[in-house]
Chains A and B, each alone.
Chain A
Amino acid sequence: MRSSIQGGDSLVFLNMAEFGYKGTLDPTIVHITNCKRIEIRNAIFDDIFITENLNHSLNPLEWDYDTLFWAKFNGTLNAGNVEHGLEYTSDIIIKRRKIDKDDDIYHPWIPLFRVPVTSWDGFSFTLFDHYVANNTEYEYALVPVLEGVESSYHVNSITTSFKGMFVVSKEKIFKSLLEMRYSDEKNHNTTSVRTIDRKFPFIVNHSKNNFYSGDVEGVFVPFRKETCDFDFDAAYKYREDLMEFLANGQAKFLKLEDGRIWMMVVSDNNPKETQDDYVKKFTTSFGWTEVGNVHNTDDYFQNGFIDEETYRYK
């Protein structure tokens, strides 16, 4: 039986009016999310591009951070962001170098990390380079290694930014933000030879010695981000660890906020703590001597900052 409801026809079935609204038979929207499988067939395909950016102008020229999937069918079924052949990579090497753009100086690449690639399934890494100076521009390169041979360099750059003084080894970081004081001197050995027949002496420099040494002091206290405050209650434990760290004889990086950085060993003046005006406030001081060039891969290796496997890719 038909009847009219709201100006349209409807079907009355078992005393119920069915399909009485004009939009009743419109298809129901089905929401499907989290698709993880794609299949194509029945055509000749040139390109499939999928992006998160709904306002993308399409006709893409390059992969960007919104791209999800891009199959180009240029001899491979790869739809990811790496060039053909990278899927055979055995290792990824991360290298870094300092740039002085004003003087157009590019320091040598230093291999910092080697990431073995056993499977690309879920492959990802997050690394931290603590051996950088403040307010300095660096270039990093991701270098795939195929059958022991380096492939092309994928380069990115950054200008560092941090505050405070850091003493850093391969395993540990200690930081001071309070009452930092430093002094340094340049050491190079000369001998003064005075002769009878000259007014002026001869200055003889047979040694290649040319290194920095100095003294540093600061208040080392943990800083709690949650309370945005220094935790002086936990400071003694922090300083105990620091004293062990300074006395372990291993090479470290000393980094200052003004951009200076040295590869050094704690020497000469032993690490010392001095209490200041507040009962929980101690100043830690120590002397240091430069032992390597922060831009030299050999010095990184000899002082234990990179391992032998990574050093091979210098």
Chain B
Amino acid sequence: MSKPIVSRVHPFDSTWPILEQGSLITTPAGESVSVIFNYIYQGTFQQFQNEIRIYNSQGALVYQRKYDNMRHQYLLPIYAILNGDTYTAQIRVFGKLENNSQQVSDWSDIVQFKTFARPIFEINNIHQDQQIANSNFTVSVFYSQAQGEMLKDFSIYLYDKGMQLIHNSGRLSPSGGMLYTITSLLDNEGYYIKANGETVSGMIIETGLIRFSVEYINPPQYILFELTNHPDDGAVGIRSNIIIIDGISNPSPPIYIDNNEVDLTDPTYWVRWEKGFSFKDSFLMQIDMRSTFGSGKTFFQMWDDNNNSIYLQRWEGVYPPLPTIRNFIRLYSDNNVVRYVTCSNVITRLNTLKSRVTVKKDKYLYEVKYSRR
């Protein structure tokens, strides 16, 4: 009597349901399937059932079951056997002759296979819909398996947004590091990437497709000089952008705190800048400081050539009906004839806490903000 010829069974996770075109595959009894045993049978009868028996590495029979099935496949349900062992299996088929007498084939030759928990296999430095800012990107692949199954090789596949394969890394050995650099990514383009791998025992794994896009970032790198093309002269122009604004102080040198702050709390101390800059109609200013000075004292002042000035004072007091001491900043704009005043928002008392004053001067209009930092 002829017997089924069973195809090689790759290692699989006995707890992991497999999909076909996105849908779960199920046994005739409706259970999720962990592996499909494919076989060829060229007997004298039409198959209507098949049966499998599975032995573990100790030779014990751990699973045997018959299904109604006319296809040359045996669908093993999940959790039928355990992970972490080497098994042997045989399959036989049942059929009927024309006279309805039941026939059964011989058991197939033994087929050996392994089960182990599905490895964690992922590209761990790109997430779905991530934006990458470079033309080159080094992909990092992570592999881990609970029973110590090693990864034999892996490959990286890059697709364009239309799912056309752009690049295949070929087989890469994990011993060289689980990194691979993809290059020539174009600005404002979308891509898909995935990794496939095979374990030492032959389990095929893949990460699934990850969609990402590329958008170059061009930071405004400030350079001390500018370059421009002069096509009429066939030349490159080089223009300096060096700005030195040196300050003077009393005392000289001033008292620095941790090379990060300057201490001008003594009423005779100051720092002044008198050359190398000029602010025109509009500017935005941020002053970071510690508010340790008394109320009503000017802490910042700027002048034009006509001795008109803008200056800032911190004010503090109790403003009924609230009983707490509150602080705000007053901005004065003084042309020695008329003095304009505007105030910032109010915040509760500061001791030595760090504060920030922001001044926006948009031609004639001033806006002052006061905050902690």
A→B interface (CB under 8 Å): 27-54, 56, 58-59, 62-65, 67-69, 71, 73-75, 77-82, 86-87, 92, 94, 113, 115, 120-121, 123-130, 132, 134, 138, 140, 142, 154-158, 160-164, 166, 168, 173, 175, 223, 225, 255
In the assembled complex, the Cα of A121 lies from the Cα of B341 at a distance in Å of: 35
In the assembled complex, the Cα of A157 lies from the Cα of B285 at a distance in Å of: 31
In the assembled complex, the Cα of A36 lies from the Cα of B284 at a distance in Å of: 15
Beyond A33-B280, A54-B282, A73-B256, 13 extra complex contacts between A and B, CB < 8 Å: A30-B333, A54-B362, A71-B247, A80-B246, A81-B222, A86-B244, A115-B240, A124-B239, A128-B233, A142-B240, A155-B223, A162-B234, A175-B233
The answer, yes or no, to whether B272 is at the interface (CB within 8 Å) is: yes
Contacts of B281 in A (CB 8 A): 31, 33
- Which of the residues B238, B333, B358 comes within 8 Å of A127, measured between beta carbons? B238
The answer, yes or no, to whether B339 is at the interface (CB within 8 Å) is: yes
Q: How far is the CB of B201 from chain A (nearest CB, A)?
A: 41
Bits for B360-372, please: 1 = Cβ < 8 Å to A, else 0: 1011110000000
Interface contact B364-A29, CB-CB below 8 Å: yes
Interface contact B284-A45, CB-CB below 8 Å: no
List the B residue with the shortest CB-CB distance to A50: B285
List the A residue with the shortest CB-CB distance to B230: A128
The answer, yes or no, to whether B245 is at the interface (CB within 8 Å) is: yes
**Residues of chain B at interface, number, CB under 8 A:** 94
Q: A43-B264, A43-B265, A158-B229 are in contact. Are A126 and B333 (CB under 8 A)?
A: no
In the assembled complex, the Cα of A57 lies from the Cα of B110 at a distance in Å of: 71
Bits for B249-277, please: 1 = Cβ < 8 Å to A, else 0: 10000101101111111010111111111
Interface contact A38-B273, CB-CB below 8 Å: yes
Interface contact A161-B286, CB-CB below 8 Å: no
List the B residue with the shortest CB-CB distance to A49: B286
Q: How far is the CB of A229 from chain B (nearest CB, A)?
A: 14
List the A residue with the shortest CB-CB distance to B310: A32
Contacts of B228 in A (CB 8 A): 158
In the assembled complex, the Cα of A160 lies from the Cα of B221 at a distance in Å of: 20
Which residues of B in the span 276-294 have a Cβ within 8 Å of any Cβ on A?
276-294
**Binding-face segment, B79-87, B117-125, B297-305:** B297-305
Interface contact A39-B289, CB-CB below 8 Å: no
Interface contact A58-B243, CB-CB below 8 Å: no
Interface contact A158-B236, CB-CB below 8 Å: yes
Contacts of A81 in B (CB 8 A): 222, 224, 241-243
Q: List 30 A-B contacts (CB under 8 A).
A: A27-B339, A31-B281, A32-B304, A33-B280, A33-B304, A35-B310, A36-B277, A43-B291, A43-B293, A44-B265, A45-B289, A48-B285, A48-B287, A58-B286, A63-B222, A74-B259, A74-B260, A77-B246, A80-B246, A82-B224, A120-B246, A124-B239, A132-B236, A140-B238, A142-B240, A154-B224, A156-B223, A160-B229, A162-B229, A162-B232
Which residues of B in the span 118-168 have a Cβ within 8 Å of any Cβ on A?
none
Contacts of B298 in A (CB 8 A): 41-42
Interface contact B236-A77, CB-CB below 8 Å: no
Bits for B309-351, please: 1 = Cβ < 8 Å to A, else 0: 1100000000000000000000001110011111000000000
In the assembled complex, the Cα of A77 lies from the Cα of B137 at a distance in Å of: 41
Contacts of B170 in A (CB 8 A): none
Interface contact B278-A52, CB-CB below 8 Å: no
List the A residue with the shortest CB-CB distance to B279: A35
- Which of the residues A31, A41, A166 comes within 8 Å of B363, measured between beta carbons? A31
Which 7 A-B pairs rank lowest in CB-CB distance, beginning with the nearest?
Answer: A77-B247, A80-B243, A79-B245, A120-B244, A46-B288, A158-B227, A162-B231
Interface contact A255-B364, CB-CB below 8 Å: no
Contacts of A39 in B (CB 8 A): 270-273, 300-302
In the assembled complex, the Cα of A237 lies from the Cα of B333 at a distance in Å of: 61
In the assembled complex, the Cα of A34 lies from the Cα of B245 at a distance in Å of: 16
Contacts of A157 in B (CB 8 A): 227
Interface contact B247-A42, CB-CB below 8 Å: no
The answer, yes or no, to whether B19 is at the interface (CB within 8 Å) is: no
- Which of the residues A67, A79, A87, A134 comes within 8 Å of B234, measured between beta carbons? A134
In the assembled complex, the Cα of A37 lies from the Cα of B305 at a distance in Å of: 9
In the assembled complex, the Cα of A106 lies from the Cα of B364 at a distance in Å of: 52
Q: How far is the CB of A77 from chain B (nearest CB, A)?
A: 3
Q: How far is the CB of B286 from chain A (nearest CB, A)?
A: 5
Interface contact B360-A123, CB-CB below 8 Å: no
Interface contact A43-B273, CB-CB below 8 Å: no
Contacts of A35 in B (CB 8 A): 278-279, 302-304, 309-310
Interface contact A46-B243, CB-CB below 8 Å: no
In the assembled complex, the Cα of A130 lies from the Cα of B274 at a distance in Å of: 38
In the assembled complex, the Cα of A280 lies from the Cα of B274 at a distance in Å of: 59
Q: How far is the CB of A3 from chain B (nearest CB, A)?
A: 27
Interface contact A123-B242, CB-CB below 8 Å: yes
List the B residue with the shortest CB-CB distance to A115: B240
- Which of the residues B236, B289, B304 comes within 8 Å of A36, measured between beta carbons? B304
Contacts of B30 in A (CB 8 A): none
Interface contact B299-A42, CB-CB below 8 Å: yes
The answer, yes or no, to whether B308 is at the interface (CB within 8 Å) is: yes
The answer, yes or no, to whether B189 is at the interface (CB within 8 Å) is: no
In the assembled complex, the Cα of A175 lies from the Cα of B267 at a distance in Å of: 66
The answer, yes or no, to whether B220 is at the interface (CB within 8 Å) is: yes
List the B residue with the shortest CB-CB distance to A34: B304
Contacts of B364 in A (CB 8 A): 29, 31
Q: A39-B270, A161-B229 are in contact. Are A45 and B261 (CB under 8 A)?
A: yes
- Which of the residues A29, A42, A128 comes within 8 Å of B365, measured between beta carbons? A29
Contacts of B271 in A (CB 8 A): 39-41, 45, 77
The answer, yes or no, to whether B237 is at the interface (CB within 8 Å) is: yes
Q: How far is the CB of B332 from chain A (nearest CB, A)?
A: 9
Q: How far is the CB of A50 from chain B (nearest CB, A)?
A: 5
List the A residue with the shortest CB-CB distance to B260: A74
Interface contact A47-B303, CB-CB below 8 Å: no
The answer, yes or no, to whether B60 is at the interface (CB within 8 Å) is: no
Contacts of A45 in B (CB 8 A): 261-262, 264, 271, 287-289
In the assembled complex, the Cα of A56 lies from the Cα of B33 at a distance in Å of: 59
Interface contact B247-A123, CB-CB below 8 Å: no
List the B residue with the shortest CB-CB distance to A48: B287
